[in-house]
């Protein structure tokens, strides 16, 4: 009789216990694992109701919103722990599901503190001048130029001087996609020679980025040409082409964030065939970021089929909009000549600082034109405009 009672109670308790375990397992659910930045971007493309949250147009978004367009430095390993940038920036990022309630409350007004705000309405433009034969003209003075800002003459020229020796901050962006595999080794050699001849120790800085689907920093800012050469030689071709993402990343995450004690010239040398098939930002968004970072972009085409290639038109648009120059070698051996021409131009520039007329800090794009006076046949090349600071 006791044996039957025990069995009877076990028969009641076991199913109940098993049911509780099942309920707990269902309530718990699988633990949500953090996604890699590239996976988050791919998920955003599947949302048809709105454009991808990770790619806001640069002109319509503040800088904090733009920083979600391209993932952080892909040369760093992905970790489940929060990055230092995320820890320092409490603002929610697009696609994370965070709300404004996670932000700290605004500080209370303190009548004992006085805040003084001043805006320096001064624009700096680096430009080159060539004669009708394409030779650089290096002996001109301030009186030889007229600056037109937003269709109005500049109110005042603050400074003018030749910039043959201003420190350089150079980014070398090398297309490492499958489409350039057959020419890759020679391009590496030409790029290495350019860095050896251009970067001056203890004076200039450069970094190397290879890109296919994602940009990869193989050598960060340094004045050591041997380390830069190692960075170029470590590049390996393979994968698709996300050229616009790489340019956006190099301007925003490298050159805009670089710390320097005085004025510098920022330039990017972009070596690619111009065929982009993987980027999350558009060509114009990449150009806008280069303009905001005050970066001159020089492009070297790796297409050897002659003129008329679509990628060459893309590279020409990028270079022209930022005040640079597009080079289209017809033979692989001419790539080295293109690098040499860029090196000469970097040492043959002028810099002018001026105060615009009717300047308003409204974040709007303002056009810039520099006209050469007194001599016929002179051609001035500079960036086409800039973005006024936001109020």
Compute how many other C-beta atoms are within 10 angstroms of the C-beta atom of residue 362.
Answer: 11
- H helices, E strands: number in the chain: 10, 14
Q: pTM for the whole thing?
A: 0.68
Give the mean pLDDT of 6-32. Answer: 41
> Contact, 208 vs 229, CB < 8 A?
no
Buried b / exposed e along 82-111 (16+ C-beta atoms within 10 A)? eeeeeeeeeeebbbeeeeeeeeeeeeeeee
Residue 305: per-residue pLDDT: 65
Tell me which of 98 and 71 has the higher pLDDT. Answer: 71
pLDDT digits (tens, 9 = 90+) for 34-91: 333 333 344 444 444 333 334 444 443 433 334 434 444 444 444 444 443 433 443 3
pLDDT-wise least confident of 56-70, 190-204, 279-293: 56-70
pLDDT at residue 162, rounded to an integer:
85
Burial 281-297 (b: 16+ CB within 10 A, else e): bebebbbbbbbbbbbbb
Cα torsion angle, 155, 158, 164, 170, sign: negative
- For position 160, what pLDDT does the model report? 92
Nearest CA among 197, 189, 219 for reference residue 206: 219
Query: What does the radius of gyration of the chain's CA atoms come to, in whole angstroms?
Result: 27
Segment 353-391, tens digit of pLDDT: 999 998 888 989 999 999 999 888 999 999 999 999 888
pLDDT at 238: 82
Q: Is the pLDDT of residue 268 over 80?
A: yes
pLDDT in tens, 100-154: 333 444 444 444 444 444 445 889 999 999 999 999 999 999 999 999 999 999 9
pLDDT above 90 covers what percent of the chain?
51
Is residue 6 scored above 60 in pLDDT? no
Q: Which residue has the tokens 């009789």?
A: 1
Residues forming a β-bridge with 161 = 351
Give the pLDDT band of residue 295 (cuts 50, 70, 90): very high
- pLDDT score at 37: 37
Higher pLDDT, 13 or 265: 265
- What is the model's pLDDT at position 378? 95
Mean pLDDT of 270-275: 93
Report the percent of the chain where pLDDT is more than 70. Answer: 68
Contacts of 36 (CB under 8 A, 6+ apart): 78
End-to-end CA distance of the chain: 89
Q: What is the pLDDT of residue 258?
A: 87
Which of 149, 144, 182 lies closest to 162 in space, CA to CA?
144
């Amino acid at each position: 009789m006791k044996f039957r009672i025990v069995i009877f109670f076990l028969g009641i308790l076991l199913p109940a216990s098993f049911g509780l375990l099942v309920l707990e397992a269902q309530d718990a659910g699988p633990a949500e694992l953090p996604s890699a930045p590239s996976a988050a971007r791919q998920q955003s493309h599947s949302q048809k109701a709105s454009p991808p949250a990770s790619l806001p147009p640069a002109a319509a978004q503040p800088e904090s919103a733009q920083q979600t367009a391209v993932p952080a430095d892909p040369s760093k390993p992905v970790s489940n722990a929060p990055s230092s940038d995320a820890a320092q920036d409490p603002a929610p990022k697009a696609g994370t599901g965070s709300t404004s309630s996670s932000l700290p409350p605004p500080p209370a007004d303190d009548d004992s503190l006085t805040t003084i705000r001043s805006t320096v309405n001064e624009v700096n433009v680096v430009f080159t001048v060539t004669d009708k034969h394409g030779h650089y003209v290096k002996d001109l003075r301030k009186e030889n130029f007229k600056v037109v800002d937003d269709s109005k003459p500049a109110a005042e020229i603050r400074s003018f001087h030749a910039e043959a020796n201003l420190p350089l901050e150079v980014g070398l962006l090398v297309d490492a996609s499958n489409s350039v595999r057959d020419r890759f080794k020679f391009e590496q050699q030409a790029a290495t020679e350019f860095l050896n001849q251009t970067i001056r120790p203890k004076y200039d800085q450069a970094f190397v980025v290879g890109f296919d689907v994602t940009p990869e920093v193989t050598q960060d800012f340094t004045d050591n040409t041997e380390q830069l050469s190692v960075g170029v030689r470590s590049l390996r071709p393979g994968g698709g082409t996300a050229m616009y993402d790489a340019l956006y990343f190099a301007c925003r995450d490298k050159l805009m964030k670089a710390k320097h004690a005085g004025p510098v010239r920022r330039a990017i040398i972009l070596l690619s065939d111009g065929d982009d098939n993987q980027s999350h930002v558009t060509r114009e968004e990449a150009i806008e970021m280069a303009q905001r970072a005050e970066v001159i972009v020089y492009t070297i085409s790796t297409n050897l089929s002659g003129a008329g290639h679509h990628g060459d038109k893309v590279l020409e648009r990028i270079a022209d909009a930022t005040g640079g120059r597009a080079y289209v070698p017809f033979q692989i051996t001419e790539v080295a000549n293109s690098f040499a021409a860029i090196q000469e131009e970097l040492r043959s520039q002028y810099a002018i600082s001026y105060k615009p007329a009717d300047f308003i800090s409204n974040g709007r794009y303002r056009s810039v034109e520099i006209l050469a006076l007194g001599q016929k046949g002179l051609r001035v090349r500079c960036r086409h405009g800039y973005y006024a600071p936001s109020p």
